[in-house]
Amino acid sequence: MTAIDLGIPGLTGIPTTDEKQTARDYKSDQEVRWCPGCGDYIVLNTMQSFLPSLGLKRENIVFVSGIGCSSRFPYYMNTYGMHSIHGRAPAIATGLAVSRPDLSVWVVTGDGDALSIGGNHLIHTLRRNVNLKILLFNNRIYGLTKGQYSPTSEEGKITKSTPAGSLDHPFNPVSLALGAEASFVGRALDSDKAGLTSVLRQAAEHRGSALVEIYQNCPIFNDGAFDVLKDADEAQRRIINVVDGEPIRFGREGEYCVIREGFGLAVAKSADVDASDIVIHDASDLNLSFALSRLSTQDLSHTVTGVFRRANRPTYDDSARAQVDAAKAAKEADLSKLLHGKDTWTVVG
């Protein structure tokens, strides 16, 4: 056992290894069966490249997924994994995390899985702050059922199930997670390997629930949904990448910035405002994080990426274990005594 406490809260208690690991070690022997051009491939590759850097024992990493295209993810990771049922992965992973402090538990889910059928489990997991890393692959469409609108599809979307346009107002997943007081919320683009890796690393190192929304392209049923963010020029004007403790500027040479407006935030040209008016990102400030999430619009005219929120609060699984440990320390596990209780009587034969 080469368990080392790295002093990283999110990894405490998980055995580490000195053996060198590579991305190849994390590839399973199963053929990857996503459609050609699917954004899931990039996320899978990024994950397989990133995990070796954590130095954890591979057998102590578990991926739990629900149902949907993205939920095939665990089959392709040479770790432990469970492909569970629709929407329930956070619940199953909670049971695993509560019973096993020595595991790094990741949940892989999609916009349908996490936000439609599994919405309840998602918000309650985030509220409890279970030590899980939840990767929400958001392609704004139902893929595996072949192209119906999802809870993140835009209003009026024409799909197989909505020939006259969808009537649903979409969720902003980051706002939803922050509304549930998630202790860590981040967002990245599938195509931005560096940005995604950075958010994944911070999520892994965070102790508590971490929700990472990943904008992911579905080339079959919703191709190009995020193209405006992938065009170099457009991206400059639209993507607001935030870093804790730094002023929020974006665009070429920091052309744009974020300032306070009313109860929220607004985008301004840096040249038009006093430097002191530019908001400095504070990931521990829930109100600021929420206001940032509101800058992200469904039409992607602005999209905030990076880590919105990272705050310390007790995790459910640590606290549950602490209660069990305290009970064990306070009272011997004497089964016979328990069965006898307070009032017994004896019949003599």
Partner 1 sequence: MSTETRKLDRVVIRFAGDSGDGMQLTGDRFTSEAAAFGNDLATQPNFPAEIRAPQGTLPGVSSFQLHFADYDILTPGDRPDVLVAMNPAALKANVVDLPDGGILIVNTDEFTKRNLTKVGYDSNPLEDESLERFQVHKVAMATLTIGALEETGLGKKDAERAKNMFALGLLSWMYHRPTEGTERFLREKFAKKPDIAEANVLAFRAGWNYGETTEAFAVTYEVAPAKLNAGTYRQITGNTATAYGIVAAAQRSKLPVVLGTYPITPASDILHELSKHKNFDITTVQAEDEIAGIGIALGASYGGALGVTSTSGPGIALKSETIGLAVMTELPLLVIDVQRGGPSTGLPTKTEQADLLQAMFGRNGESPVPIVAPQSPSDCFAAVLDAARIALQYRTPVLFLSDGAVANGSEPWLIPDVDSLPDLQVEFATDPETFQPYSRDPETLARPWAVPGTPGLQHRIGGLEKQDVTGNISYDPENHDRMVRLRQAKIDGIEVPDVVVDDPSGEAKVLVVGWGSSYGPIGAAARRVRKLGLPVAHAHLRHLNPFPKNLGEVLRKYDKVIVPEMNLGQLALLLRAKYLVDAVSYTKVQGLPFKAEELQDVLADVIKGVSA
Query: Given the rule CB under 8 A, which residues bind partner 1?
Result: 15, 28, 30, 57-60, 62, 64-65, 67, 74-75, 77-85, 88, 91-100, 102-103, 120-121, 124, 320-321, 323-324, 326-328, 330-333, 335-336, 338-341, 343-349
- Closest C-alpha to 235, from 219, 211, 205, 215: 215
For residues 114 and 132, is the Cβ–Cβ distance under 8 A? no
Q: How far apart, in Å, are the Cα atoms of 193 and each of 43, 50, 68? A: 8, 10, 23
In whole angstroms, the minimum distance from the beta carbon of 121 to partner 1 comes to: 6
User: Which two tokens mark 107?
Assistant: 């949940």
Contact (CB, 8 A) for 132 and 106: yes
Residue 25, φ and ψ in degrees, nearest 5: -60, -25
**Given the complex with partner 1, which of 48 and 79 has the nearer CB atom?**
79
Q: What is the DSSP string of 239-273?
A: EEEE-TTSB-EESGGG-EEEEEETTEEEEEEGGGS
Nearer to partner 1, 237 or 321 (CB): 321
Cα separation, 199 vs 178, whole angstroms? 16
- State the minimum distance, in angstroms, from the CB of residue 344 to partner 1: 5
C-alpha–C-alpha distance, residues 12 and 14, integer Å:
6
Question: Least distance from C-beta 345 to partner 1, angstroms?
Answer: 5
Q: How far is the CB of 184 from partner 1 (least distance, A)?
A: 20
Minimum CB–partner distance for residue 38 and partner 1 (Å): 18
Residue 10 Cβ, how far from partner 1 at the closest point, in Å? 17
CA dist 37 and 246 (Å) reads 35
Q: 144 vs 229, which CB is nearer to partner 1?
A: 144
Q: Count the alpha carbons within 13 Å of 44 in the hemisphere toward its beta carbon.
A: 24
Please tell me what DSSP assigns to residue 114: I
Q: Which is nearer to partner 1, 106 or 226 (CB)?
A: 106
Which of residues 74 and 170 has its CB atom nearest to partner 1 in the complex? 74
Nearer to partner 1, 100 or 294 (CB): 100
Residue among 57 and 249 whose Cβ is closer to partner 1? 57
Shortest gap between Cβ of 319 and partner 1 (angstroms)? 11
CB 37 within 8 A of CB 219: yes
